[in-house]
Amino acid sequence: MELESGEAVTLLGEANGYQLLEGGRRLLFVDRGWGFIPTLRFVLGLLAFIFGINGLIFGITASLPAGGVLLGLATVFGVALQQTFPYLERRRAAPVKKSEVLAIVARDEGKLLDGEGQALADLSTVRFAPAMQLTSSASALEASYAGGKLVVARGNPLSGSIDEILDALKRAGLRTSQ
């Protein structure tokens, strides 16, 4: 994996399209822009399953044409579901754009920087902790510091929690809480 500038980075953790990357002595929080895709995957899979089962039942017990139509719809939803996988793989493999960087932990400088590289706080005052999201049952990961808070990752019940990123931050020696 690499940045737009060509610098190599290593993936430390991922949750719902948010990634924690390591490049040298810097940790980068990146939003790869998955957006609604995990929810779309769930809905398409559910529709394919429901129409498929009903198509089989209708085809066997009631009406062969109605069963065929339902199986056809299940196939359409299944193909649409299948197309979401290469899309996310392309997003995951693409170089990280500067506009996707949410925050930077500059360990050499001992600072938390915003995506533009402006200092937000000293690392000694920063604490990473799960935070409640109003629109989801999954937690967000928040960097709290004396001057405010910054959400650096959002979990999604359909595509992963923030635990992998939180564990990577612990391994990196940063202050975290559960």
pLDDT of residue 122: 92
Kindly report the pTM of this predicted structure: 0.80
Instruction: Evaluate whether residue 161 is within a structural domain.
Output: yes
- Domain span holding position 71: 38-91
Helix, strand, coil fractions of the chain, as percent rounded to 5: 40, 30, 30
In this structure, the answer to whether residues 28 and 113 fall within a common structural domain is yes
In this structure, the answer to whether residues 75 and 151 fall within a common structural domain is no
Instruction: Evaluate whether residue 3 is within a structural domain.
Output: no
CA distance 168 to 161: 13
What is the total count of domains within the chain?
2
Q: What residues contact 79, with CB distance under 8 A and at least 6 apart?
A: none
Q: 171 near 164, Cβ under 8 Å? A: no
pLDDT of residue 47: 97
In this structure, the answer to whether residues 87 and 120 fall within a common structural domain is no
In this structure, the answer to whether residues 16 and 60 fall within a common structural domain is no
The helix/strand/coil state of 140 is strand
Tell me the pLDDT tens digit for each residue of 141-171: 999 999 899 999 988 877 778 899 999 999 9
Tell me the pLDDT tens digit for each residue of 99-128: 899 999 999 999 999 999 899 999 999 999
In this structure, the answer to whether residues 72 and 105 fall within a common structural domain is no
Q: What residues contact 178, with CB distance under 8 A and at least 6 apart?
A: 129, 130, 166
Which of 48, 72, 91 is the C-terminal boundary of a domain? 91
Instruction: Evaluate whether residue 2 is within a structural domain.
Output: no
Q: How confident is the model at residue 52 (pLDDT cuts 50, 70, 90)?
A: very high
Instruction: Evaluate whether residue 157 is within a structural domain.
Output: yes
Taken as a whole, the chain contains a residue count of 178
CA distance 121 to 145: 6
